[in-house]
Amino acid sequence: MLLPLVLVLALTPPTSAMTVPGAEHQQLARLTDLTTTGLTATGHTDPADWAGLTSTALPVPAAVPGIQIDGYFPDTSRTNTNHGWHDSEFVVRLPDRWNGGLVVTGAPGVREQYANDRAISDWVLSRGYAFASTDKGNTGARFYRDGRAMEEWNHRFTQLTIAAKSVVSQRYGRTPRRTIATGISNGGYLVRWQLENRPHLYDGGVDWEGTLWTVKGPNPLTFLPPVLRAYPAYLAGEPGAHEAMVAAGFPAGTEFLWDYHYRYYWDLTQRIYREEFDPGFDGDLEAGVPFCAPGTPSCDADYSYAARRRVAGPAVSPVALTGKVKRPLLTVHGTYDVLLPISQDSDVYAAMTPDRLHRYYRVEQGTHVDGLVDAYPDRLRPLAPCHRAAFVALERWLDGVEPPRSATLPRPADVATCPLS
């Protein structure tokens, strides 16, 4: 049974009395539309932050009036330049018509707090949920300068969840009946970590291709160096290079995506996350040598996590996942993901989690960012409909209705839909 929509305008205290616990600064706005249509017009979102994450066909719902609170928690780093403030920024949205629930999310990649506005916020607000999102405490390609940056990600997600629950209580006169964690990529990683380590704060979660970090591997530092070595050889037509790509987790059939990911994702991702966990590998350099050939001194194409695990492993350990989720979790991940290849990520994580609390949907022809669907509509399908189907399945699961069994989902005739069974 879905949470009912309730008109709450007449029941709430004056908005001037609302405060975000622990925030160093906040600014509140009463808006006629909390969706990206309205927020773009009023300047209460950053379209550049969510650019490329969704396909153009993803519908925007009708206007959702309500309150938006922007602000930040105390912090010393300043990688988030959106408002000219500093890091640990957040956004909280409170629709006038509330269904009793709260959705908390964190930015994918190294983006800011508005990154999920198009993919997640629009839809959950239209269903009556309050929404909160964090920048994770640091942003941008040099996030590693913050020091133990990924540990802060988890802290900031927890901090915002606690604060958002208080804000919801102030706004609507009662605590949320249901709190759901969800997120994309690094945001999906946060969902996994929270349900493993802070389960008392949530009723469940939906993980959209969360990043897998384990001490012994796999993790991005185990599968990205092999592909950085193999891809230039593949371009040169060297024997065995294609097989090496496939062996690294990048399946045959995804070749049309490889060049884009090499230029924009693989090299950068390897270097900046290696710098986070193993800064000594390249000596005095910072995040290595871009697009270096194997054999170049301090080249990340030659990085071996197995050989460096005694150094990198202790840094990975505080953020590593165990699979021991303690609340219901649904995962969706595309089989054509060539940033976080499914065989090295969610296939492994699903094997780590208890079946009674986890459902896993492998989405055929889904890739890492839905924006690429616009370029390859016949070869890719969007994951947003699958995330929404999984979200609804979680709602029903929390009401006592078991979701469909874990499965690989074939491409439907209408890719705007995503049947889970």
The pLDDT tens digits for 32-89 are 999 999 999 999 999 999 999 999 999 999 999 999 999 999 999 999 999 999 999 9
Burial per residue of 348-370, b for 16 or more beta-carbon CB atoms within 10 angstroms, e otherwise? bbbebbeeebbbbbbbebbbbbb
> Which domains can be identified in the chain, with CATH numbers?
25-214+319-409 (3.40.50.1820), 220-316 (no CATH)
**pLDDT of 11 over the 50 cut:** no
Phi-psi region of 68 (alpha: psi -120 to 50; beta: other; left: phi over 0): beta
pTM score, whole prediction: 0.95
Of 151, 152, 147, 175, nearest in space to 163 by CA? 175
8: pLDDT confidence band, cut at 50, 70 and 90? very low
Percent over 90 (pLDDT), the chain? 96
pLDDT of residue 418: 98
CA angle 383, 385, 387 (to 5 degrees): 70
Average pLDDT for the chain = 96
**pLDDT of 3 over the 80 cut:** no
Q: What share of the chain is helix, strand, coil (3-state, %, to 5)?
A: 40, 15, 45
pLDDT of residue 17: 80
Residue 76 burial (CB count, 10 A) = 9
**pLDDT of 338 over the 70 cut:** yes
**pLDDT of 211 over the 60 cut:** yes
**pLDDT of 335 over the 80 cut:** yes
**pLDDT of 6 over the 70 cut:** no
Find the helix or strand (DSSP H, E) in which 123 lies.
helix 122-126
Residue 389, C-beta contacts closer than 8 angstroms, at least 6 positions apart: 417, 418, 419, 420
Contact between residue 393 and residue 359 where contact means Cβ atoms under 8 Å apart: yes
**pLDDT of 9 over the 80 cut:** no
Contact between residue 100 and residue 177 where contact means Cβ atoms under 8 Å apart: yes
14: pLDDT confidence band, cut at 50, 70 and 90? low
Q: Average pLDDT of 186-209?
A: 98
If DSSP states are collapsed to H, E and C, what string results for 135-188? CCCCCCCCHHHHCCHHHHHHHHHHHHHHHHHHHHHHHHCCCCCEEEEEEECHHH
pLDDT of residue 16: 65
Retrieve residue 140's tokens. 């941008």
Q: Render pLDDT for 106-162 as a digit per residue (tens, 0 to 9).
A: 999 999 999 999 999 999 999 999 999 999 999 999 999 999 999 999 999 999 999
**pLDDT of 7 over the 90 cut:** no
Please provide the distance, in angstroms rounded to a whole number, between the alpha carbons at the two ends of the chain.
19
Q: Render pLDDT for 368-390 as a digit per residue (tens, 0 to 9).
A: 999 999 999 999 999 999 999 99
Residue 272: helix, strand or coil by DSSP? Answer: helix
The DSSP code sequence of 21-69 is: TT-SEEEEEEES--SHHHHHHHT-S-HHHHTTSS-TTSPPPSP--EEEE
pLDDT of residue 404: 98
pLDDT of residue 1: 35
Contact between residue 385 and residue 416 where contact means Cβ atoms under 8 Å apart: yes
Retrieve residue 243's tokens. 């097989």
CA dihedral 410, 342, 271, 318 (to 10 degrees): 130
285-293 contact pairs (CB < 8 A, 24+): 287/141, 287/142, 287/144, 291/267, 293/232
The DSSP code sequence of 308-329 is: HHHHHHHHHGGG---S---S-E
Q: State how far the Cα of 177 lies from the Cα of 157, in Å rounded to an integer.
A: 19
